[in-house]
Amino acid sequence: MGDISCSNGISNGNGVHGKVFPLNGYRKSCWYEEEIEENLRWSFALISILHTGASPYQDIALLDTKPFGKALVIDGKLQSAETDEFIYHESLVHPALLHHPNPSTIFIMGGGEGSTAREILRHNTAKKVIMCDIDEEVVEFCKSYLIVNRDAFCDPRLELVINDARAELENREESYDVIIGDLADPIEGGPCYKLYTKSFYDFTVKPRLNQGGIFVTQAGPAGIFSHTEVFSCIYNTLKQVFKYVVPYSAHIPSFADTWGWVMASDTPFVLSVEELDLRMKQRIKGENRYLDGKTFSSASTLSKAVRNSLDNETHVYTEGTARFIYGHGSAYKKAQE
């Protein structure tokens, strides 16, 4: 639900549908605004609009923002910001790869931005990484404009596949040590909500994991008030499929909320803080900016209110009983003359 407005009165006056009016060069007091809930909006100042475009699946914008640097917006939802995307991507990737004894084959569902692949390819155990994104135009957009991920896209260990992740997993005969869900949020009218269902986890994801394999997915807002949208039921749904399930969260400043991930396996997660730190030193090229053993221990220690809510969650995510975060698919319209 993105909306851009300027102090000179150029604004669509309609944040719900998020139509964007073009900015001809720099103007003072230009703002990006996103409707997070019906009575809550999040906005920040813009320097400029770097690029807008549209694919058959999604509308895309790259904004240069004052507080968060370059920001990628897809279908009116902020996906990633230059200054803090490392929090999201380190949290998504490293706990699963570190808990696995030797993660050599990894499948990414989504991840067109390239940041998830970038973090995986820092691991010296990673021999083959499949990145499967349905939207070639988003991938090409990110290749062109997100300089930080260019090396990842050129790494020979990365195989880029343009396809629906569900169809790709179902049609492949090979299995993987780790499968990562770096998908768009389950938004009503959006394309991804079916990839959060029990049937998908049970009949598509789990059969494609090797013995001891680990699945991890981003799971939407996980704040004290927002976690009941989808985080708690994604956690409960994975509990119906895997023996061991670990929810964890971190604050993402540009998202204006705490964000959640859920990691699942039929093998227990038993590494101590010290063992996680040791594996980081042994396996990962360069230093993490956010995640270490203590940080993951803290991230997986949820607040009392959220723990109680997850413990009492009974909803199982299916196509017929889907839950969605606030918003609508294809809400962000590319700039029009």
Which one from 3, 59, 75, 182 is the annotated catalytic residue? 182
User: What's domain 84-312's superfamily in CATH?
Assistant: Vaccinia Virus protein VP39 (3.40.50.150)
Q: Tell me where in the chain the CATH 2.30.140.10 domain(s) lie.
A: 3-8+28-79
> Options 1.10.10.10, 2.30.140.10, 1.10.3720.10, 3.30.70.20; which CATH number does 3-8+28-79 get?
2.30.140.10
Q: Tell me where in the chain the CATH 3.40.50.150 domain(s) lie.
A: 84-312
Helices (H), the chain: 85-99, 115-120, 136-145, 150-154, 165-171, 198-200, 231-239, 273-283, 293-299, 304-312
Per-residue pLDDT at 22: 44
Split at pLDDT 50, 70, 90, the class of 296 is very high
Mean pLDDT of 128-138: 95
| Whether 182 is catalytic | yes
Beta strands in 15-74 (DSSP E): 30-37, 40-54, 59-65, 69-74
Taking only the tens place, the pLDDT of each residue in 58-108 is: 888 999 999 999 999 988 889 999 999 999 999 999 999 999 999 999 999
Per-residue pLDDT at 6: 61
Q: pTM value?
A: 0.89
Q: Which of 56-60, 111-115, 223-227, 248-252 has the lowest mean pLDDT?
A: 56-60
